[in-house]
Amino acid sequence: MDPVRATIILVHPLAALSLIWLFYGQRRWRRDSHVLDKDGLRASVERHESMGVRITVATLCIVVLAFGSNAIRGLIDANDATSYLLPGHFHGWTGLLGLMLMLVLWMLGRKTQDAKTAGESFAKEMQMHGRLSELMAVLAVIHAFLGFLYLLTIL
């Protein structure tokens, strides 16, 4: 196994594991927010919102990293950067689905924040945001497992 090729392949999964860890840390906010006082809750909400933006940007970067890794792997394996760009496996397609869901999650978070700032009812948006977060937590684990299986086939 070529160490350069292995390193290029492993960059995406290692970065993605870090992102999953951050995402699960972000989700802990729901549980921890129930025990905070008013000032602590306000600061916690601000951290939650700013971390949500960072996680969304990081998700986009992880997907770009996956495409870049596949392009470099294509150059190494087939002398063609486009040979691995289109996902030929379920893991790749679920990654694109995950990116779309992350953008929807971020937009629901923004809608919640905007409604709250405007003094409007935001319970519906907040509940949808939380439910989508729960779904994505499960899908992230499935996606990571599929990625591990795929990794075994390409290393």
pLDDT at site 88: 87
pLDDT at site 29: 81
List of the chain residues with pLDDT < 70: none
Q: Are 98 and 91 in contact (CB under 8 A)?
A: no
| Residues across the chain | 155
- Residue 20 host element (H or E): helix 3-32
Give the whole-angstrom CA distance, residue 105 versus residue 111: 10
* Upper half-sphere CA count for residue 152 (Cβ side, 13 Å): 5
Q: Are 106 and 132 in contact (CB under 8 A)?
A: no
Nearest to 147 by CA among 22, 6, 1, 17: 17
pLDDT at site 52: 96
Read off the pLDDT of residues 45-84 as tens digits, 9 standing for 90 and up. Answer: 999 999 999 999 999 999 999 999 999 999 999 999 999 9
How many domains are there within the chain? 1
Where b means 16+ CB within 10 Å and e means fewer, 34-61 reads: eeeeeeeeeeebeebeebbeebbebbee
Give the whole-angstrom CA distance, residue 150 versus residue 125: 36
**How far is the CA of 137 from the CAs of 13, 15, 26, 105, 152, in angstroms?**
17, 17, 11, 12, 23
The boundaries of the domain holding residue 120 are 3-154
